[in-house]
Amino acid sequence: VALLSAAAAAPLVDGHCHPVVTGPVQPPEFEWWCSESASPPRPGESTMDSSLGYAIRRWCAPVLGLPAHAPLADYLWVRGELGPAEVTSRLLRAANLAGLLVDTGLPAAELTDLATLAEAAAAPVHEVVRLETLAERVATSGSAASFAPAFRDALVSTCDSGAVAVKSIVAYRHGLAVAPACPGRSEVTAAVGRWLRSGKRLTDPLVLSFLLWTAVDLGRPIQLHTGFGDADAAITGSDPGLLQPFCAATADRDTTLVLLHAYPYHRRAAWLAHVFPHVYVDVGLTVPYVGARASAVLAEFLELAPYGKVLYSSDGYGLPELHLTGAALFRQAIVAVFDAMVAQDALTEADAARVIEAVSSANARRIYRLP
């Protein structure tokens, strides 16, 4: 176990996460951030009475100087006394990260900027550009006819200025049944015209698939939301199995698809990573949310996905507690999974330690071409 624990203790690349809130967090708001539900629980219930809630108390309380499992009220009191900047830096540094890939597509004025996040975490931060957010920004100027080249130019210049990957939330906007070919220019112009006249957010499947195919042309890794998320996610439309035609159609292109989250369809995502060389799976969001069950779920990711194709992330957002809890649970889970495999003589401890290093950081460094 010593060799495995040492491998898991090395700095992690958090391959998908978000900034954290800058100001103090009041108790109801803290609970709100600890759930994918946007609605407050009913009286007498709490989002902290959950796998994630107990994991946060287990892993974060000691970093703030409290005993593990300290009551939530004590935790929030100490959190308030220490202040947001101190709490953020303690928790992010305790996560021991070698780098963070940060999705900047969720607009919120009160979130940290990337430089502040890097300073707090004492680790480099790499931007990930959200395709739909960029498209909506590009669409605020120009016409339907100018949209396609303007979007392509905007994406190229964002990538040139340092973004290491792009992210798609097509699962939220339409579903993962993405067209297996890039739509033609005139089709895109007509669809953009309909979208702009509607005055609504982008949900047109043709425009959404144009964004993805543009990203395929660019060659940057594409992260796709799959599986569970907030109540806005049509869960059956988020089944990564629906991406099979898109995966097949992009298999001979110089592109990389990273399937984020995936739960409860993580075994289907693992199958896609198994059969398509350019498809990878990321355990983010799932690992922190399943709490003490992380080792069971991680083991399921690793049943079919080749070990070089599984990536760590926390999907922490809003609270630095989520970045730390993801990291701590992942380390505990991957040691448990491979310790059991070594015990049954499935592989040597040295091989298991190498796999832990791959999933923890080496796979991410390779596919995102991190320095």
Applying the rule CB under 5 A, the residues between 81 and 110 that interact with Zn ion are none
Q: How far is the CB of 193 from Zn ion (least distance, A)?
A: 31
Q: Which tokens belong to 14?
A: 């958090």
Q: Select the residue interacting with Zn ion from 202, 315, 331, 336 (CB under 5 A).
A: 315
Nearer to Zn ion, 88 or 191 (CB): 88
Task: Count the residues of the shown chain that bind Zn ion, applying the rule CB under 5 A.
Answer: 1
- H and E: helices and strands count for the chain: 18, 8
By beta-carbon proximity to Zn ion, the closer residue of 167 and 268 is 167
Instruction: Give min distance, CB of 282 to Zn ion, in A.
Output: 10
Candidates 3-11, 49-57, 241-249, 312-320: pick the segment binding Zn ion (CB under 5 A).
312-320
- Asked if 13 contacts 98 with a C-beta cutoff of 8 angstroms, the reply is yes
The enclosing H or E element of 4 equals helix 2-9
Give whichever of 147 and 289 is closer to Zn ion, judged by the CB atom. 289
Residues 8 and 276: beta-carbon distance below 8 Å: no
Nearer to Zn ion, 59 or 228 (CB): 228
Q: How far apart are CA 283 and CA 337, in angstroms?
A: 14
Closer CB to Zn ion, residue 169 or residue 208? 169
Q: Could you tell me the smallest distance in angstroms from the CB atom of residue 173 to Zn ion? A: 15
Tell me how far apart the alpha carbons of residues 90 and 102 are, in angstroms, rounded to a whole number. 19
State yes or no: residue 127 binds Zn ion (CB under 5 A): no
- Per CB under 5 A, which region of 7-15, 33-41, 266-274, 308-316 contacts Zn ion? 308-316
Measure the CA angle with vertex 176, ends 173 and 181; round to 5°. 105
Q: How far is the CB of 226 from Zn ion (least distance, A)?
A: 12
b/e burial code for range 47-79 (CB count within 10 A of at least 16 → b): bbebebbebbbbbbbebbebeeebebeebbeeb
Residue number, 70 or 283, with CB nearest to Zn ion? 283
Residue 268 neighbours by CB under 8 Å, 6+ apart? 239, 240, 241, 262
The amino acid at 352: A
Q: In the complex with Zn ion, which residue's Cβ is closer, 112 or 353?
A: 112
What's the closest the beta carbon of residue 364 comes to Zn ion, in angstroms?
A: 15
d(Cα 243, Cα 175) in Å, to the nearest integer?
9
Question: CA-CA-CA-CA torsion for 314, 316, 321, 324, nearest 10 degrees?
Answer: 30
When CB distances to Zn ion are compared, the closest residue is: 315
Give me the least distance between CB of 17 and Zn ion, in Å please.
7
Q: Which stretch binds Zn ion (CB under 5 A): 135-143, 236-244, 306-314, 315-323?
A: 315-323
Q: Which of residues 165-194 bind Zn ion (CB under 5 A)?
A: none
Q: Residue 119 phi/psi, 5° resolution?
A: -65, -45
Nearest-approach distance from CB 167 to Zn ion, in angstroms: 8
- Residues of this chain that interact with Zn ion (CB under 5 A) are 315
